[in-house]
Chains A and B, each alone.
Chain A
Amino acid sequence: MITAERKPLEEIIEYIKPYKRILLLGCNECVTVCAAGGRKEVGLLASGLQLAMLKSGSSIEIREHTLERQCDPEYVEELVPMIGSEEAILSMACGCGVQQLATRFKDKPVFPALNTKFMGGSLSQGVWDERCKGCGDCLLGLTGGICPIAKCAKQLMNGPCGGSTDGKCEISDDVECAWQLIWNRLKALGQEDRFLDIMPAKDWRSGGGGGPRKIIREDLAE
């Protein structure tokens, strides 16, 4: 999933303080799962903003709503009847959702309430870690299912650097050495020989080096 964290309240207030009526819009997908921008967080942020505005002697009308998916035009259409009287939209989706709104409602200011972080998964309750950089040419089949691009601090593709100690990365004891994890997996799978294969220099065009990426599925596209 795409993970995100809420921006500091002060930064959000800076965005919205010129307005009297805003739509605060959550998303029911990834940001709900990582507890950053779902229905619950929309409610919490709305109260927080109301309170902060009251304290500063101003007021704001906040309409709360949460879409099934903010990155999907089909769901964003739902907003058309309710958007007219709102002066601005504060989105609690990832950057994909924010941009979907900005594209659809061309004359409406749209602001992000979240910082979009990374593609990752949950390690345990309340903890998420990065797993994928979206390089567009997945090599997990060669590395025991653990990604050196996303999980090695130097994105080394041919083994651990000289800073790996007791399974930890040189940058921090809180970071596991990706190549130790890969090696453990290759051993468990009986694929130790695979380590000796040299992974050649990567073609980054599929990873964004070729400019903004797009997928067109002829069989589905209208």
Chain B
Amino acid sequence: MKTESNLEKVLAAGHLAVTSECGPPRGAIAKELTDKAKFLEGVVDAVNVTDNQTAMVRMSSLAGSVLIKQQGMNPLLQVVTRDRNRLAIQADILGAYSLGIDTMLCLSGDHTKFGDHPMAANVHDIDSIQLIQMVKAMRDESKFQGGSDIKGAPKMFIGAAANPFADPFELRVMRLAKKIAAGVDFIQTQCIFNVEKFELWMEGVRKMGLHKKCYILAGVTPMKSVGAARYMKNRVPGMDVPADVVERMASVPKEKQPDEGVDICIETIERLKKVEGVAGFHIMAIEWEEKVEEIVRRAGLYPRPEIS
């Protein structure tokens, strides 16, 4: 074991892991976050705390992670390279680890264009792959990126994202290979609606033996409505929602659409369980955290393993 991370323990023990996420609030009210997080208690192995997602200012992911930790849950600290340079990120990693946070996700972040501060400078001192390298060197070599020694290395279980649906498709497996070479321990994928395309990507992953070099958590999202399905299909960059999924959502009356969305999500998990190399699931129920427990239970992923 590289770390004390609960997620690592669950995965190393061979269980299908389950993670979900909680977006911090657009204000300083801690209760807004902890109320949402309560829905995930005992239901998931780690809770992603997003870092200014969609480039909108929110309570910091570090503070959010601490709040989640105080609730007795396992936070998964998301860190984007858009907002902070390598000094600030390393400082936050030291601070996070000192506060008991041992699992993180290395991301480049949505472009500021999409958020509420499009006038802000994008930092991008390092990219997500260089961030993985940096966190790994901090953990395994007790070295800062600048080369000096760390007294008390932060032992982070290192995650990253992968999007099997973005272009160019032929680079998507190679990009995962680069993240693994950089030192990533686990991957959370973009939401999977197009299972065939995901299977095709996994075929490439297995061909290179990458599923044996890191844990791949398949990302799923329950859709609340046909409107949400259309929005994701048409408006969210790098998202692949096939027409038949949208049609299925449209085929039921509006009041039944949330149930249909949850059904599709659970069926997707069942299909993904059969894909060799899938080590767990990342359930992104955005502002719909109360549905995660039902999904986890109905998908046969409950109870979550207790590993000391």
Report which A residues bind B (CB closer than 8 A). Answer: 153-167, 170-172, 177, 179-180, 183, 195-196, 198-202, 204
Which of the residues B114, B167, B178 comes within 8 Å of A164, measured between beta carbons? B167
* Contact (Cβ within 8 A) B108 A154: yes
* Contact (Cβ within 8 A) A195 B82: no
**Closest CB-CB distance, B207 to chain A, in whole Å?**
14
Asked if B171 is an interface residue, CB under 8 A from chain A, the answer is yes
Most chain B CB within a 10 A radius of its CB, from A158, A162, A202: A162
Q: Which residues of A contact B126 (CB under 8 A)?
A: 201-202
7 more CB-based (< 8 A) A-B contacts, given A172-B113, A201-B86: A153-B122, A154-B108, A158-B128, A159-B171, A163-B166, A196-B177, A201-B126
Cross-chain pairs A/B with CB under 8 angstroms, 25 sampled: A153-B113, A154-B122, A155-B122, A157-B129, A158-B128, A159-B174, A159-B175, A159-B178, A161-B108, A162-B162, A162-B165, A162-B166, A163-B238, A165-B166, A165-B167, A171-B111, A172-B113, A179-B171, A180-B167, A195-B171, A198-B178, A198-B181, A201-B126, A201-B133, A201-B134
One digit per residue, 1 when the CB lies within 8 angstroms of any chain A CB and 0 when it does not, for chain B 102-123 equals 0000001111011000000010
Which of the residues A157, A170, A199 comes within 8 Å of B238, measured between beta carbons? A170
Select from chain B the residue with minimum beta-carbon distance to A187.
B170
Report which B residues bind A (CB closer than 8 A). Answer: 82, 86, 108-111, 113-114, 122, 124-130, 133-134, 145, 161-163, 165-168, 170-171, 174-175, 177-178, 181-182, 190, 237-238
* Contact (Cβ within 8 A) B130 A158: yes
* Contact (Cβ within 8 A) A164 B168: yes
**Closest CB-CB distance, A25 to chain B, in whole Å?**
32
Q: Which residues of A contact B133 (CB under 8 A)?
A: 198, 200-201
* Contact (Cβ within 8 A) B171 A170: no
Q: Which residues of A contact B161 (CB under 8 A)?
A: 162
Most chain A CB within a 10 A radius of its CB, from B86, B122, B126, B165: B126
Q: Which residues of B contact A161 (CB under 8 A)?
A: 108, 163, 166, 238
Select from chain A the residue with minimum beta-carbon distance to B165.
A162
Complex Cα gap A167–B167 (Å): 7
* Contact (Cβ within 8 A) A158 B129: yes
